[in-house]
Amino acid sequence: MAVGPAWAAAGACRRVLQRAFSLHKAHSVKNMETTLQLVRNIIPPLTSKKHKGQDGRIGIVGGCQEYTGAPYFAAISALKVGADLSHVFCTQEAAPVIKSYSPELIVHPVLDRPSAVPNVEEWLPRLHALVVGPGLGRDDTLLENVKGILEASKARDIPIVIDADGLWLVAQHPALIQGYRKAVLTPNHVEFSRLSEAVLRDPVDGSDHREAVRRLSQALGNVTVVQKGERDVISDGEQVLECAQEGSSRRCGGQGDLLSGALGVLVHWALHAGPEKTNGSSPLLLAAMGACSLVRQCSRQAFQKHGRSTTTTDMIAEVGPAFRILFET
């Protein structure tokens, strides 16, 4: 019959594709394991010789009338991962709300003041990393202040994680972070398309995530990009890594905020660890792989306990156990 050879050819083609896919998958898993081994190297040891602050002082820039949860999630996650101090720079209205969520956070109600930039600048010498965007909103005055904060942070060579509405700002003004090698962008699906269209001026090719992320990173002058999704794709414009750590099917809001806060700490640790610990790998790629794996592991563990009712708060409760499983066993 005429269908015989065509069917056989299709079968052979399917087998080749399946083999290529499983080889790619096996390769990715091996790469992930090798990378996670390096992530373990950058984690600072807990010793009695250190003083408060040495393991990380992280600043979160975000929090406005509508969004108080996002900066809280980012700031508390930074502490739970292992930072010593977590500061939130938010609007005056949001500050008492964020403070009331947790006595562990230091909250500065400055972001909507005319003096916002100098007020934040005062703290910059004491901060190891900044996370810009969770719950920031899109008010023009706030975004203008954040521009000034970004410029001041770059001038001090402070590592910057940019997420959520911080990415909205970068899509309007890519020059803000163009070529800044200590920046990491963490777009979700929508944010990634918006950035790609703004920077590359062409629609995203949805068929090749790895190449799309590499191109965006390269066009931004090798800023590290973490595209969150079913698999997280991470690139510095040269290398491309994928994080396929098992997570969960729960897609509640706030998981990206957990990622940005965790990443703030890991970026600081990775840069601080030095090249002998990172073995020639990009510190920011390692930090990104570590943070993505951690968030997904938290999601998996929380889902095992809470199923459909899992929320980001349940995931934050898993940061400690997930960290131990991934990085300390």
Ligand X SMILES: Nc1ncnc2c1ncn2[C@@H]1O[C@H](COP(=O)(O)OP(=O)(O)OP(=O)(O)O)[C@@H](O)[C@H]1O
Strands laid side by side in the 85-90 sheet: 106-109, 85-90, 57-61, 129-132, 160-162, 183-185, 224-227, 232-235, 240-243
Phi-psi region of 226 (alpha: psi -120 to 50; beta: other; left: phi over 0): beta
Q: Which of 39, 95, 117, 165 binds ligand NPW (CB under 6 A)?
A: 165
Please identify which residue in the block is written with the tokens 């840069």: 271
Least CB distance from residue 127 to ligand X, whole Å?
22
Total of chain residues touching ligand X, rule CB under 6 A: 17
- Shortest gap between Cβ of 120 and ligand NPW (angstroms)? 18
Q: 159: phi > 0 → left, psi -120 to 50 → alpha, else beta; which?
A: beta
Q: Which ranges of the chain would DSSP assign to H, the alpha helix?
A: 3-42, 69-81, 94-101, 116-123, 140-155, 164-172, 189-200, 209-219, 255-273, 275-278, 283-306, 312-316, 319-327
- Binding string, 40-79, against ligand NPW, x = CB under 6 A? ---------------------------x-xx---------
* Annotated binding-site members for ATP: 228-232, 247-256
The CA-based diameter of the chain, rounded to the nearest angstrom, is 81
How far is residue 2 from each of residues 8, 11, 13, 299, measured CA to CA in Å? 11, 15, 18, 51
> Using CB under 6 A, which of 80, 128, 296, 300 touches ligand X?
296
**From Mg ion, ligand X, ligand NPW, none, interface partner of 165 (C-beta below 5 to 8 A by class):** ligand NPW
254 binds ligand X (CB under 6 A): yes
Q: Which one of ligand X, ligand NPW, Mg ion, none interacts with residue 56, CB within 5 to 8 A by kind?
A: none
257 binds ligand X (CB under 6 A): yes
Q: Are 21 and 13 in contact (CB under 8 A)?
A: no
Distance CA 278, CA 292 (A): 18
CB of 58 to ligand X, least distance (A): 17
Annotated binding site: 135, 188-194, 228-232, 247-257
Q: What are phi and psi of 242, to 5 degrees?
A: -125, 135
Structure tokens at 207: 């068929």
> Scanning residues 185 to 204, which ones bind ligand NPW (CB under 6 A)?
188-191
Task: Report the residue number, 43 or 292, with the smaller CB distance to ligand X.
Answer: 292
- Report in angstroms how near the CB of residue 229 gets to ligand X at its nearest: 5
| Beta carbon nearer to ligand X, 56 or 69 | 69
Chain positions contacting Mg ion, by CB under 5 A? 164, 256
Task: Enumerate binding residues for ligand NPW (CB under 6 A).
Answer: 67, 69-70, 134-137, 164-165, 188-191, 253-254, 256-257
Write out the residues near ligand X by the rule CB under 6 A.
Answer: 164, 188, 228-230, 232, 247, 251, 253-257, 259, 292, 295-296
